[in-house]
Structure 1
Amino acid sequence: MLTVVFSLARCRAGKRTGRIGLWAILGLGLSGVGSVLRLSGAQANIDVPALHGFNITGGLNLTPEFAALLIGLVVNSSATIAEIVRSGIQSVPAGQWESARSLGLQPGKIMRLVILPQALRVIIPLMTSSYLDLTKNSSLAVAIGFPDLVSVLNTTANQSGQVLEALAIIMVSYLTLNLAVSAIMNRYNQRIESRGFFLR
């Protein structure tokens, strides 16, 4: 409850100044998730692993399928994103580096104040495509037996015979995820173009 009050106060203050803080948005999102969990009756309990005899009970279990999916997606996406960031930084003309050095700026400040604000105009559209690819590539979990959305709905379609309805659910789910990611990245891109690099 305190999170909601704090976040609403931050949003109201942000509307007066024209800047809504990132912490206010995160607070509202977390309080919304907490409200949905409470209304649905689900309980979020933290289970601490403990040693009982010769076995460890409790805690989180990392299945081999999920570990393989996580490692594969992280390695692939991190390589793609690293290449996007590298090419975005290299797209800034060398004269910008030289001008910033001639003003006596330190290398960290050159990157933060001069290079990154210009590079982000190249980086963000490519990063949006990379995030959308990551969202769609998560369906590859079917190949290793991890029960994601596609696998669950395939099983439902096979058992109920309602294939069109299952395909419609898959299409709507991925469309919703892709539109949400695209809207968030477009909003971030507009904010950077209008107010500069730094989030306040």
Structure 2
Amino acid sequence: MRAPIGSFDNAAPAADRLDLLTGPVASAVTAGWGGFPAEQIIHVDTDPDIADTAVFVEHHGAELLDRSANCVVVAGKRGGEATLAACVVLSHSRVDVNGAVRRQLGARKASFAPMDTAVGRTGMEYGGITPVGLPADWPLLLDPAVVDAEWVLIGSGSRRGKLIVPGKALAALPGAVIVEGLGLRG
């Protein structure tokens, strides 16, 4: 199978690679969501040593920087209570944690969640966290540029491999909210 973006040697429907996905991601891929069948979700098998965006793009081509998205876990705090959420922005952007995220969560303070919290609560590997398969009660904040992308490369829940999904499919995930200004360029 040829991947819709990039020049990956090893692409296949994610439903055929459930053994390479973490439990929550495999369950979400199997179930499908928002009318997007599992066949539209593509898995590309990649080296876990180059999973970090900068190294991945250097290895697979700079054109992927505009077609890749990062998913980060944040914690919004208000009155001693914390709300975990995931934020997805294109890889050339950074998440506006202290502005857009804080306002969207109605938090007094927002910050990136500690690694052990992000990994423990998602059931995914650090460096591979993806919006696919997140806890259903979490807000999923999406930058409009991610949703507008025809295809976007995201984590697969594991450092080994990536998923390629239609941007609109991410907006159909549980808890998804499109947030203007979520991603800050640069």
TM-score (normalised: structure 1): 0.24
Richer in strand (by share)? 2
Q: TM-score, normalised by structure 2?
A: 0.26
Structure with larger Rg: 1
Answer 1 or 2: which has greater helix percent: 1
